[in-house]
Amino acid sequence: MNEDDLVYLFAAHEKSITDIKKLDSRLDELAPFEIAKLEYLYSQAERHAWRIAGHFKKLYKYHEGMAEIAQGQEYKAVRGDGKKNSTDGQYLSRIAKGEQLTQAAEYEGDFLTWKGVAGTYERAANSLKDMLKAITAEGGNQSRTA
């Protein structure tokens, strides 16, 4: 995913959240159709969040892979001149690996955050399904509580 796609996803996510807030602000007054629409909007926001999470997961997996490559290349370079022993190579190559793993950790944090956001939206959509079931069980009468 390129930078433009990511910008589009963030904008689409924000639009979904704006639309959700409009309906959610009057949740106790919503008609069943509006509740279903709100459920749809939460599902839409969830899809955006999962795609954003996927982007960050790709980045953190990339940097984890690059960490292994960097460690191997550094070990090879240190040992290549014949002046350093294998222990020196091991320790010096860990520095290169650590730099990549530090970057991977940042992306992993972003991935976990967006994964959690997506899960929150899923639970909200499920709650709305339960509300619609309750409305149906009550014969379509929706009590209005403030």
Question: Under 8 Å CB-to-CB from 60, ≥6 apart: which residues?
Answer: 104, 105, 106, 107, 108, 110, 111
Indicate the residue type of 53: A
The per-residue pLDDT for 89 is 79
Residue-wise pLDDT tens digits, 10-44: 999 999 999 999 999 999 999 999 999 999 999 99
Please count the residues of the chain.
146
Listed residue (143, 118, 114) closest to 131, CA to CA: 143
Rounded (10°) angle between helices 86-137 and 32-80: 170
Average of per-residue pLDDT across 126-139: 92
pTM over 0.75: yes
How far lies 57's CA from each of 51, 70, 111, 140, in Å? 10, 20, 5, 43
Does the pLDDT of residue 143 top 70, yes or no? Answer: no
- Note the pLDDT of residue 146: 43
Residues 132, 138, 142: CA angle, nearest 5 degrees: 65
Q: What is the pLDDT of residue 144?
A: 52
> Model confidence over 61-89: pLDDT tens digits?
999 999 999 988 888 888 887 777 878 77
- What mean pLDDT do residues 92-108 have? 91
Half-sphere exposure of 41 (CA within 13 A, CB side): 18
- Pick from 4, 38, 44: which is nearest to 21 by CA? 38
